[in-house]
Amino acid sequence: MTAKSDVLIIGGGVIGLAIAVELKLRGASVTVLSRDFQAAASHAAAGMLAPHAEALPPSPMLDLCKRSRSLYRDWTRKLEDLTGEPTGYWPCGILAPVYTQLEHPGCSDRDASGVQEWLDRDAINLYQPGLGSDVIGGWWYPEDAQVDNRALVGALWTAAQCLGVDVRNRITVEVIQQQQRQVIGVQTSAEVIRAEHYVLATGAWSNELLPSPVRPKKGQMLSVRVPEHLQPPLKRILFAPDIYIVPRRDGRIVIGATSEDVGFTPHNTPSGIQALLERAIRLYPQLQHYPIQEFWWGFRPATPDELPILGTSPCKNLTFATGHYRNGILLAPVTASLIADLIWEQKSDSLLAHFNYSLGVPIPASTTTGIPAFSIMI
């Protein structure tokens, strides 16, 4: 018989773990259930913290992303202090080379806030030697950054364990049991587990447990390694219109990513990898000589409006934290903080209203089947 936690989090990717650590630090007892830690999108990501390079328009989403990026330095330092493990946070900036004038809209070359600066061909080649000859210039985003997302989720997992979160891998939540707009327990592959409050943080798989508009968007990736006799030639991320190249401090270089509507179809494909390699070599030709290290793929939790789903649900004791699409690594610290405020302090930040998704179709009075117990509309 499992002791009843204050909060049970379904999903142990970056979002579920970040919320678990935050709640535990505030005094809650927390359980995390995860079907497959390694299959999480959080392992597959590139780790860019890139609200500016992603060209998000002025919006609550941009505000949310910028707030999260500003939390990153202290948040990762806290995790590193707790665990003794690195997270690979690196405020390296992002260089966004372009190939045509169309991609340089000709607006101010340096905006007043200093978040972006235009570099012409000579300037960009001085700044980053070795770019392909098709590059005509590019934008420099000094405030964007990166984290080694695999190291980060490893550190989050360790932090959760060190703090006393009950973290369990290889356990699947099969049904969310509901009664009178309350979750009364979750049926798992092992047993029924109950808590006072529940969080849905199952990423691209959210739709398997509750009807939601989250669907998988597959991304294929690969990495190469800088040969040992060379100094790492890249000191910042390269983010071109059709490819990104993310150098890690340990000499790995991550290259991504495809964006495919193929459901949960696994594996890398020759055409996916060929496209990534062609684009990467066009952008940074010397990559063609580096040894390939690894291929992998993952599933982004996409939503129709590309916004995360955060906050209250039609069940009083169930909170949503899903649908982070392309920016879940970036959004982890702000999600953790806002969701912990909501659950533990009953404080709802005004930003949350923009990501709410609990418009109401009535919930049947009681269900303990696998049939979705309520439906939701945008």
**8-state DSSP, 90:** B
306 residue type, one letter: E
3 state SS for 309-348: EEEECCCCCEEEEECCHHHHHHHHHHHHHHHHHHHHHCCC
Is 164 exposed, middle or buried, given 0-12, 13-18 or 19+ CB atoms closer than 10 A? exposed
* Least distance in angstroms from the C-beta of 252 to ligand FAD: 14
Helix (H) or strand (E) segment spanning residue 247? strand 243-247
| Interaction of residue 46 with ligand FAD, rule CB under 6 A | yes
**Residue 154, φ and ψ in degrees, nearest 5:** -60, -45
Sites for ligand FAD among residues 154-173 (CB under 6 A): 172-173
Sites for ligand FAD among residues 7-26 (CB under 6 A): 10-16
* Least distance in angstroms from the C-beta of 324 to ligand FAD: 4
| Interaction of residue 141 with ligand FAD, rule CB under 6 A | no
| Interaction of residue 88 with ligand FAD, rule CB under 6 A | no
- Exactly one of 137, 185, 301, 372 binds ligand FAD (CB under 6 A); that residue is 301
| Interaction of residue 311 with ligand FAD, rule CB under 6 A | no
Q: Which two tokens stand for residue 133?
A: 């000859």
Binding region for ligand FAD (CB under 6 A) out of 38-46, 113-121, 124-132, 262-270: 38-46
Which residue, among 278, 275, 245, has the nearest Cα to 138 in the 3D structure? 245
Q: Of the two residues 137 and 253, which places its CB atom closer to ligand FAD in the complex? A: 253
303 residue type, one letter: T
- Exactly one of 93, 138, 203, 272 binds ligand FAD (CB under 6 A); that residue is 203
Sites for ligand FAD among residues 209-268 (CB under 6 A): 209, 219, 221, 256-257
Q: Of the two residues 10 and 56, which places its CB atom closer to ligand FAD in the complex? A: 10
CA angle 198, 5, 30 (to 5 degrees): 75
Which residue, among 172, 245, 175, has the nearest Cα to 183 in the 3D structure? 175
Q: Of the two residues 12 and 154, which places its CB atom closer to ligand FAD in the complex? A: 12
* Residues making contact with ligand FAD (CB under 6 A): 10-16, 33-37, 39-42, 44-48, 172-173, 201-205, 208-209, 219, 221, 256-257, 298-301, 322, 324-330
